[in-house]
Amino acid sequence: MKLAAVPGITPVTMDSLDATADALTDLLVSVRGPESAHDPGVALAARDAAELAHENGASLVAVVEHAQADPAILVGMVVTTDSPLGPGAADELAQHLSEGDGQDFREVTSSVTGRGYPVVIAERILLSGPPTAGAQLQAVVVEPDGRRMAVFTLHSTTGRGWLELAAVLGRLVSSVDFAQSASSVSR
């Protein structure tokens, strides 16, 4: 699978867990400003994202930024199924997510990329009392009649500029091209 380089999305190294966490921390601090280096939540969020990415075989970890938003962390991976997904796979996924499954999804929608790939988008607003503890968006691009799904998770700890960040992710999601033979996210 291939992705386009999208302005506002800066990938970090996946060489090791520590390298990913350090690169994420450094990039978040550079985007948020030097005073954020004293915020323990920055390094904690970076470490958590790096651990999840490495444990789940992610092939993309990046920082997403926009001038009107606090930066967010993006994790991307390709999931391969044992059998072909079939033409209704995206509808089935959207239905499953809409029914709950114990998740706190605010909204589940479906779309199609310019290349004709179905996309399921699930948005969460994470609440831990006022104000929100952030927002999370998952976009799953399905390879029709294939065995692969590209799964992207965008997480903002503050939620500030959420719509702008989601639009940046949308540009990346729309660039997914399963015609490439590689089985991992490449740029």
Report CA dihedral (60, 122, 32, 22) to the nearest 10 degrees.
Answer: -30
- Is the link from the previous residue into 131 a cis peptide, with omega within 30 of 0? yes
> What is the C-alpha to C-alpha distance for residues 74 and 102, in angstroms, rounded to an integer?
23
Confidence band of 182 (pLDDT split at 50, 70, 90): very low
User: How far is the CA of 117 from the CAs of 46, 59, 92, 141, 143, in angstroms?
Assistant: 31, 20, 15, 6, 6
CA distance 55 to 73: 16
- Does 187 have pLDDT greater than 80? no
Q: What is the CATH number of domain 9-173?
A: 3.40.1000
Count Cα neighbours of 152 within 13 Å in the Cβ-side half-sphere.
Answer: 29
State the average pLDDT over residues 53-74.
95
> For position 186, what pLDDT does the model report?
47
Q: Is the pLDDT of residue 140 over 60?
A: yes
Judged against a pLDDT cut of 80, whether residue 133 lies above it is answered with no
**What pLDDT score was predicted for residue 4?**
92
- pLDDT, residue 79, reads 93
Q: Average per-residue pLDDT in the chain?
A: 87
**120, pLDDT greater than 50:** yes
Q: Could you give the percent of the chain with pLDDT greater than 90?
A: 57
Rounded CA separation 70/24 (Å): 14
User: Cα–Cα distance between 86 and 63 in angstroms, integer?
Assistant: 33
Q: What is the pTM of this model?
A: 0.87
Q: In the chain, which ranges are E strands?
A: 9-11, 60-64, 72-80, 105-112, 118-126, 134-142, 148-156
